[in-house]
Amino acid sequence: MHSLQARLVATVIALAGVALVVAGALTYVEQRDFQYRRIDEQLRLALVPLARDLGIVTHRRLPPRADDDDHQHERFELGTPPPAIGPSLPAGTYGEVRTRNGDRVLARTIFNPFANGDSGPYPKLPKPPPTPRSTATIETSSGRYRVASVRLPSGNLLVAAVPTREADDALRRLLVAQGVVTAIVLFGLGAASWIVVRFELLPLARITAAAERISSGHLDERVGDGDPRSEVGRLSQAFDRMVDRLAAALGELERSEQRLREFLADASHELRTPLAAIRGYADLYRLGAAREPDQVAKAMERIGAEAARMGSLVDDMLALARLEEPNARREERVDLARLLREVADDARVRAPERVIRVHAPDELIVRGSDGELRQLLGNLVANALTHTPPGAPVELSGQRRAGAVEIAVRDYGRGLPPGDPERLFERFWRAAPGRTRGRAGAGLGLAIVKAIAEAHGGEVTATNAAGGGALFTVRLPDRATHPPGDTEDRSEAGAP
């Protein structure tokens, strides 16, 4: 019996069966005591008519009732009709007189069920009979009797015996009735319990079916909202929450594996070109094709340049992989206004012919990683310098707007390439076909910008600016208190 439903129903039936058996036993015992008390009352009342029928004259007071007092005992003499003495005596009531040594001298059966008159059979009572004023149950060949005796003045014993046949039949009928009622009750209770338990366990069946479908790969399967007031309902809700977390964990694992596959594919693809260049120049030198000093110098220069580009590419890929991991980063107070000015100063050193403007308050505090946010701004400025003609100005700005900190980098070049601007932030995407290199770089700079912005709970967008050029905007959550002195600092620098 492995089914929970079957075990619950069996438990209910077993408990109900024990309760019914105990109740039936108590009822039987109480009914038996009642029947025997009634027989004992009949036995007490049988002594007077038996004494009369046996022709005994006695001035001895007969056994009193429990509620009689000593002044209410009646005396019966031969020939005097007895008063009404209670319920009629049962058929087969028997009386006899015995001597002191137990010999029977007189016997009579009144209300004989076997024949008319006073013909036997007489029950064979054992010797000695019960002591006076006590009762006992005796088994004879004629059946079971309840027997009592009383001492006569002559010293003989008057013995009265009342058959228990009617009481025993009633008790047997009671046992049969109890058995039938118990069987009917247990059968009905079992059927009702089976229906109720089956209905109550339907949510568990749904949970089991959902678990089986989930184990086969259907992670979108849910049990559904249950009643929080019931244990099964709370189990259903907990099961759905567990599956949600499992699906999220498996989804994150799949995304991590996808990122790993993309990383390996991109690494193998992007590293193939610099490795091929390095190997080509090394083969030229090994085969003797580059013997002249200027040829050797050129080969070594190209090998160094490709190795440096390969190292930069690997660094960018590793940085992007770290940013996409869900690990918690240490946050600190970062002044974006300071970072904007420092990144602008670095850009002026790289491109002294450029006009680079900064529009920012004295302070613009956010919480995040100083190094990552510096890299974000540096990549945006480097992208503007790379994709605009020499001499085109670049503007950097920062402000608070609508509960967020907004950073913008605008150039005055040709604007964004045609197509979806979101594609600019894909890894290794370039506007030029065929994955060409050169000024366009490896195509990881904007992907790193997007990863840093999302790691800080923000976003980055790219649009064509009014009046020409491209506008890249980064919005970060404003998780710092507004600093005092929110005034703009408009510094300009240009080529001398």
Average pLDDT along the chain, 496 residues, taken 10 residues at a time:
77 90 92 88 78 61 43 34 49 81 74 47 70 77 83 82 87 92 91 84 77 76 70 76 83 79 73 79 75 78 80 73 64 89 91 90 89 90 88 91 89 85 74 43 77 88 89 85 42 37
Work out whether the CA dihedral 250, 252, 253, 254 comes out positive or negative. Answer: positive
133-156 in b/e form (b: 16+ CB < 10 A) is eebeebebebeebbbbbbebeeeb
Structure confidence at residue 140 (pLDDT): 81
Structure confidence at residue 487 (pLDDT): 39
Structure confidence at residue 41 (pLDDT): 84
Structure confidence at residue 431 (pLDDT): 58
Helix (H, G, I), strand (E, B) or coil at 74: coil
Structure confidence at residue 23 (pLDDT): 93
For 231-321, CATH number out of 1.10.287.130, 1.10.10.10, 3.40.50.261, 1.10.3720.10 equals 1.10.287.130
Helix (H, G, I), strand (E, B) or coil at 233: helix
Structure confidence at residue 419 (pLDDT): 79
Q: Where are the domains of the chain?
A: 4-173, 231-321, 329-491
Structure confidence at residue 176 (pLDDT): 93
Structure confidence at residue 403 (pLDDT): 82
The contacts of residue 371 (CB under 8 Å, 6+ apart) are none
Structure confidence at residue 225 (pLDDT): 67
Nearest to 158 by CA among 96, 109, 91: 96
Structure confidence at residue 44 (pLDDT): 80
Nearest to 36 by CA among 160, 149, 128, 163: 163
Nearest to 336 by CA among 378, 382, 398: 398
Distance CA 309, CA 439 (A): 12
Structure confidence at residue 64 (pLDDT): 46
Cβ–Cβ under 8 Å, residues 53 and 160? no
Q: What angle do CA 241, 245, 246 make, to 5 degrees?
A: 115
Structure confidence at residue 250 (pLDDT): 83
Per CATH, the homologous superfamily of domain 329-491 is Histidine kinase-like ATPase, C-terminal domain (3.30.565.10)
Q: What angle do CA 440, 442, 446 make, to 5 degrees?
A: 80
